[in-house]
Structure 1
Amino acid sequence: MYKHTIDNATCIAFISGDKKAFESIYCAFSKSLYRRILYLIKNPDDADEILHNIFIKIWTGREHIDPDNNLYAYFMQAANSMAIDQLRKNLRTQVVHDNISLFGEGRTALSVEDSYIGKEDWKILESAIEQLPPQRRLIFKLCKIEGKSYKEVSESLSISPATISNQLVLAMKFLRQFVKQHHKEILLYCLLFDYIGRR
């Protein structure tokens, strides 16, 4: 029903930078978009921020909008994408926090031995990452550590998403083999990387 609420003239005015058209679109779409975002991420504060960012992002990039397309669908696609990105960010944060706590650094009563073991385990894993071939190492760091999507890395490095996926599979295989020769707990980091950066 929303595609009938915003007529083509309003859409064109929005693309041209008309602030009244922006307000009309905001009033027509914001409640529905907010409900969708909140349904996905279950956090009102995050939902408010994402809704705000959606309108800023689309407003600043409005010249790329095709006025003949369904504008509401365009906004909804942006809402879904940004909500999923936030979910991935929250997952990375939570898994890292749980992993650090498991190694002892998140405890209120931290022993010197626990802290040393956690840091040493990470050093071992870092040394394994540095042994990857240059391109594979770069792809791994971008996707698994920095959390970039396959699309972002593909565009940045001018390689296909399939190549990225293959390189990550090979990287994870090497890391698992490497850590088996060291501390068993380091395998938890490999599980962490399996969760992070999946696209």
Structure 2
Amino acid sequence: MLTKDAERILDEELIKLFIKGDMRAFDDIYAFFNPKLYRFIFSLVKTEEDTEDLVHEVFVKVWENRKSLRKYAAFESYLFTIAYNTTVNFLKSRVKSSQYIEYIKSVQVAVCDAPYVDEVNNDEINEKLWSLIEMMPTRQREVFKMKHFQNYSYKEIAEILNISINTVENHMVKSHKFLKERFGESYLLILLFIHLFL
């Protein structure tokens, strides 16, 4: 079990042990991040079975690529980037399924016709999206990531950052307006990849 200090921030030594292949360190990291990762992925795919499979796949990828991690303090961002990419690839593979299209309609996200979707270069979307996110003002970027990539509620974000819920909402409105202006007509598709809903 992680200590209370480790629950607030992962110890650099733990990450170093993980990179070296220490299974106990991996178990601690898994126990710490599994609930948040599960919430994040489930909010996108909406089924327990797919979520469990994707969480497992993410941790396998993190383990297999652990030696590529250089900045210990950035481990959480590293983990959720892998989770984001893995989930987006999974969702993209489902776009042509009639059941998935019905699901998209159920959350009221307009999806462009299938040929357009097929032409989307996921790597380009991912690169542009993260580049634009990094261009956001610091607090706005922080709120956006907490909402869309860590699946915190507005209330949780407000409490963690010690700001009002109204301020959180304003940051979210501004961040989506910022992205919409830069992605143009393809913005709805970007929303699909970000979180499937506004």
TM value normalised by structure 2: 0.49
Specify the structure having the higher radius of gyration (Cα): 1
